Copies of this chain bind each other. A is one copy, B any other.
Amino acid sequence: MTASLESLESRFADIKALQAAIAMMEWDQQTYMPRGGSPARASHLGSLSRIAHEMFVSEEIGALLGRAKSEVDPESEEGALVRVAQREYDLATKVPAELVSRKVQLAAEGHEVWMAARANNDFERFRPYLEQMFEIARQEATYLGYRDHIYDALFDQYEEGAKAADATRLFETLKAPLVELVRQIAESQNDPDDSFLTGEWPESKQREFTEFLVKEIGFDMNRGRQDVAPHPFCTGWSVGDIRLTTRFKPYLASSIFASLHEAGHGMYEQGSPAAWDLKFPMLVGGVSLGVHESQSRLWENIVGRSRPFWKRHLPELARRFPEFSEVPLDTFYRAVNKVQPSLIRVEADEVTYNLHILVRFELECDLLTGDLKAKDLPAAWNAKYKEYLGIEPETDSDGCLQDVHWSSGLIGYFPTYSMGNLLSYQIWNALRKDLGDTDALIERGEFRPILSWLQDNIYRHGKRYQPQDLIERATGRPMEANDYLTGIRAKYTELYGL
């Protein structure tokens, strides 16, 4: 190893330690922190982010990267490290440390206010934080630079090379067929009954069953755990320590599919080579949000909402919740795939999901450009729900206050969910070509070959290849909408007898 690479690695180890601390404080904030911890937490997060940022954007690291670039084989792991670090360095050096620190501190405070605002349906309480966060985002975008649309600068942070115009085109491709499918479904008069999923389900039993399921599909509890948070998420600070969260509602499908979704993220994170944890922490984890989301959706929807999955697991569910002993497999399968325009994104079905994203994508574009003022957000939100989904929230808690993202400063993030939906089907088709009868595997509870294929083709590469490269390597072609549209059309035509 060259001297510059060695220097970089020891500096990255320190930065990784700071990032681990930040991630843990954020995890704790959403799982276990008592209310009184909030002011100091915001200050600690502000300090740690600033320290990490200053360490990373030092001229010395810039110089070391410049030297290392000419010394490494670009095809090697070291070469990937230098490339990824250089991109991060470029992104980070453009934004002043002071702005980064202000954003993190605002996010910590804003998160608390958002929680209270959502609990009390009090948008006005949250509004000043939302305004400040979008103002910071505008400044960020200016520092990062963009050619076509202010949104591009932010979007690229989460999905390398992605642009607002691409997302717009993507949604234009999806919109008509989705609206048509939703229309057919609505007219089918063949609505699944999911009333038996509503009830008072004891939290401890939900916890046990969801832990059972995520272990079944391959999430390694020796290298992770599941806790409870108001908005489920997955985080982690090493390949050996990945944390899932879920939540408990009086609708049993909520915790089950939240857990399977987060476990999909979690298995991707657990799949990076263990040796990279200390050696190349910058290469560990998912390559982009879109690819990450493809894995959560794959395990949640394609595996978790399949008929063979419940042929296997309905008896176990009924053993733990005797209320389900009399529910036929087909009734259960149809219930967890019910298509229904609803208000809450995280509980949306896979047909309407992308319409929820479209609402958010358009609104955050308008908030960024100033075409929409924060004070007008609730009305604009409700109007778009009416237009795309035919329904309107009665409270802002069920409307524009439902998502954690904007309170945390995640602007330019939402479209990656839709990219995940498309990629999940495209990757699944490639996997099926190699593995054959996946239904039979799932029905026998043999998730190992599925996980191994994903591990080999995606997870083990971490951030080594660029997103588009990885997709082409894994599926033989660039991202397309076709697999998704064909997949859900087939599934729901059969399910609804269209």
Instruction: Spell out A's residues near B (CB within 8 Å).
Output: 13-14, 16-18, 20-22, 24-25, 28, 32-41, 43-48, 50-51, 220-225, 227, 237-241, 277-278
Please name 8 pairs of A and B residues whose Cβ atoms are closer than 8 Å in the assembled complex, sorted by A.
A18-B51, A21-B22, A34-B225, A35-B222, A35-B240, A36-B241, A38-B240, A43-B278
A22 to chain B: which residues have CB within 8 Å?
A: 21
Flag if B237 contacts A34 (CB, 8 Å).
no
Q: A17-B48, A44-B20 are in contact. Are A36 and B225 (CB under 8 A)?
A: no
CA A13 to CA B47, docked complex, whole Å: 7
Flag if B48 contacts A18 (CB, 8 Å).
yes
* Closest residue on chain B to residue A238 by CB atoms: B40
A50 to chain B: which residues have CB within 8 Å?
A: 14
A222 to chain B: which residues have CB within 8 Å?
A: 34-36
CA A35 to CA B21, docked complex, whole Å: 18
A282 CB → nearest B CB, Å: 14
Partner of A36, one of B32, B35, B223: B223
A94 CB → nearest B CB, Å: 24
A170 CB → nearest B CB, Å: 37
Flag if A240 contacts B34 (CB, 8 Å).
yes
CA A472 to CA B327, docked complex, whole Å: 73
* Closest residue on chain B to residue A52 by CB atoms: B51
Q: A24-B24, A25-B24 are in contact. Are A34 and B241 (CB under 8 A)?
A: yes
A33 CB → nearest B CB, Å: 6
CA A225 to CA B48, docked complex, whole Å: 24
A24 to chain B: which residues have CB within 8 Å?
A: 21, 24-25, 28
- 7 new A-B contacts, CB < 8 A, other than A33-B241, A40-B277, are A17-B48, A21-B24, A36-B220, A36-B241, A39-B240, A39-B278, A40-B240
CA A13 to CA B40, docked complex, whole Å: 10
A314 CB → nearest B CB, Å: 28
A239 to chain B: which residues have CB within 8 Å?
A: 36, 40
CA A227 to CA B238, docked complex, whole Å: 23
A33 to chain B: which residues have CB within 8 Å?
A: 241
Flag if B47 contacts A17 (CB, 8 Å).
yes
Flag if A223 contacts B43 (CB, 8 Å).
no
* Closest residue on chain B to residue A44 by CB atoms: B17
Flag if A41 contacts B278 (CB, 8 Å).
no
Of listed A14, A16, A17, A25, residue having the most chain B CB within 10 A: A17
A116 CB → nearest B CB, Å: 14
Nearest 4 Cβ contacts at the A-B interface: A37-B241, A36-B240, A40-B238, A36-B223
CA A17 to CA B50, docked complex, whole Å: 11
A284 CB → nearest B CB, Å: 10
CA A44 to CA B239, docked complex, whole Å: 13
CA A34 to CA B223, docked complex, whole Å: 6
CA A20 to CA B44, docked complex, whole Å: 7
Q: A14-B51, A34-B224, A36-B224 are in contact. Are A238 and B20 (CB under 8 A)?
A: no
A41 to chain B: which residues have CB within 8 Å?
A: 238, 241
* Closest residue on chain B to residue A37 by CB atoms: B241
* Closest residue on chain B to residue A17 by CB atoms: B47
A497 CB → nearest B CB, Å: 45
A36 to chain B: which residues have CB within 8 Å?
A: 220, 222-224, 238-241
CA A223 to CA B34, docked complex, whole Å: 6
Of listed A34, A45, A225, residue having the most chain B CB within 10 A: A34
